[in-house]
Amino acid sequence: MTERARQAGALSGVLVADFSRVLAAPYATMLMADLGADVIKVERPGGGDDTRAWGPPFAGDQATYFLAVNRNKRSITLDLGAEADLRRARELARRADVVIENFRPGTMAKYGLDYGRVREGNPGVVYCSVTGFGAAAGAELPGYDLLAQAVGGLMSVTGPAPGEPVKVGVAVVDVLTGLHAAVGVLAALRHRDRTGAGQLLELNLLGTLLSSMVNQSAAYAHTGVVPGIMGNRHPSIAPYAVFPAADRPLVLAVGNDRQFAALCEGIGRPELAEEPRLRTNSSRVANVEELTGLLETELARRTAAEWFDILSPLGVPCGPVNDLAGAVQLATQLGLDPLVPNGEGHTVANPIGLSLTPPDHTGRPPRLGEHTTDIAAWLDEEQAT
């Protein structure tokens, strides 16, 4: 089998059998593909990954949702209900360094592709299974990000006011689960390098979310405090919120007393930093309503861009609330190269910076079944030998 020509990456030589679809696990496999792994994406004939149809928007005839998490992969279509294709799927799993799937619990076992069966012929395999709510009592619950945000507590701390919960604007639980999956796979590969033994890696959306809520979930774990919606404010830091400037919203993220003093200097009210009710972070949190009123009055005098230019040189964390176009423009101005060429257009850059083996963005997302003939021939040859 001839792999697409690519620069040597940190994961070059690692073969990933990707039986996943939608977002969480495909995000993990894209990160691995960016870092040099050969990711073979197994898709059902006819429709493929569900996200191929999740549009608009479309880039040409392709859904941008699919394009977001499938670059640098190769696609083979296999009907697991057909004997010849099932043999190929099993052979792919036998050859793979990593198998990753996010079907409902029991689905892979139905085809003899569960960890126990794969391990029999491939004892060194790292087998990653991603579910919504685990493989026990939560096995039948559908693993959708919005559902996880709701039942996992994220929406209970997100929204404009108490009683008005909202979801985060992207499927952040899926993304976080994908990141954890990638980290887990790399840890398991490192263990295999030392011992020769593969292992089963299991993740679920709910567990990932509870871990990722960090200070909020830790507050509950340690004290029993149940956090609630605070809008854009922070429960433990002030001022750490969104304020109206003369033209659009402005964020202040003041994390210590020194930064607060600099803020007071920048807005022309240096005496506020010596006010007993505002001198320390704890006192500012206790008197946040008074502080908010004072800052709103001062910040309304200038535009968000003007405040950014005034306060940033003073070391005050602040910035306008950009839309996505503004965010990309800022990243470009800062020399971060947020968009990079990718086959037929541009893609969002992988943020991991490696000095010797940087991520490769050159492989465009595959068309459905684009590599079926080549990969199927390779798998059939392996079976024959």
Of 356, 350, 371, which Cα lies nearest the Cα of 33? 350
- pLDDT for position 345: 84
Q: Which CATH superfamily is domain 240-333 in?
A: formyl-coa transferase, domain 3 (3.30.1540.10)
SS3 state at 76: strand
Residues 365 and 71 sit within 8 Å (Cβ to Cβ): yes
Residues 171 and 23 sit within 8 Å (Cβ to Cβ): yes
The whole-number average pLDDT for the span 113-126 is: 97
Q: Provide the β-strand partners of residue 40.
A: 17, 74
What is the spatial distance between Cα 73 and Cα 61, in angstroms, rounded to a whole number?
18
Residues 101 and 67 sit within 8 Å (Cβ to Cβ): no
Q: What percent of the chain has pLDDT over 70?
A: 97
- pLDDT for position 5: 53
- Binned at pLDDT 50, 70 and 90, residue 315 comes out as very high
Positions annotated as catalytic residues are 174
- Binned at pLDDT 50, 70 and 90, residue 2 comes out as very low
| DSSP-derived secondary structure letter, 141 | S
Separation in Å, CA 57 to CA 51, 63, 329, 348: 12, 6, 21, 16
In angstroms and rounded to an integer, the radius of gyration of the C-alpha atoms of the chain is 25
User: At residue 249, does pLDDT exceed 90?
Assistant: yes
The whole-number average pLDDT for the span 297-301 is: 96
- pLDDT of 144-202, one tens digit each? 999 999 999 999 999 998 999 999 999 999 999 999 999 999 999 999 999 999 999 99
Question: What is the reported pTM?
Answer: 0.91
User: At residue 283, does pLDDT exceed 80?
Assistant: yes
Query: Which are the contacts of 38, defined by CB distance < 8 A and separation ≥ 6?
Result: 3, 14, 15, 16, 74
How buried is 233 (Cβ within 10 angstroms: 0-12 exposed, 13-18 middle, 19+ buried)? middle
User: At residue 50, does pLDDT exceed 50?
Assistant: yes
Residues 316 and 252 sit within 8 Å (Cβ to Cβ): yes
User: At residue 71, does pLDDT exceed 90?
Assistant: yes
- pLDDT for position 52: 96
The whole-number average pLDDT for the span 45-50 is: 95
- pLDDT of 76-108, one tens digit each? 999 999 999 999 999 999 999 999 999 999 999
Looking at this protein, which amino acid is placed at residue 110? K
- Binned at pLDDT 50, 70 and 90, residue 230 comes out as confident
User: At residue 342, does pLDDT exceed 90?
Assistant: no
HSE at residue 214, side-chain half, CA atoms within 13 A, is 3
- pLDDT for position 140: 85
Q: What percent of the chain has pLDDT over 90?
A: 90
Centre a 10 Å sphere on the Cβ of residue 333 and count the other Cβ atoms it contains.
Answer: 8
- pLDDT for position 7: 67
- pLDDT for position 383: 62
Domain map (residue ranges) of the chain: 15-212+339-384, 240-333
The whole-number average pLDDT for the span 304-308 is: 95
DSSP strand E in the chain: where? 15-19, 38-43, 58-59, 62-63, 73-77, 98-101, 126-131, 199-204, 240-244, 249-253, 318-320, 339-342, 345-348
Strand order in the sheet with 199-204: 73-77, 38-43, 15-19, 98-101, 126-131, 199-204
Strands 126-131 and 199-204: parallel
- pLDDT for position 384: 53
Query: Which are the contacts of 223, defined by CB distance < 8 A and separation ≥ 6?
Result: none
Six-digit token pair at 221?
């774990």
User: At residue 295, does pLDDT exceed 80?
Assistant: yes
The whole-number average pLDDT for the span 244-257 is: 96
Strand order in the sheet with 240-244: 240-244, 249-253, 318-320
- pLDDT for position 86: 97
CATH architecture of 15-212+339-384: 3-Layer(aba) Sandwich (3.40)
Mean model confidence pLDDT for the chain: 94
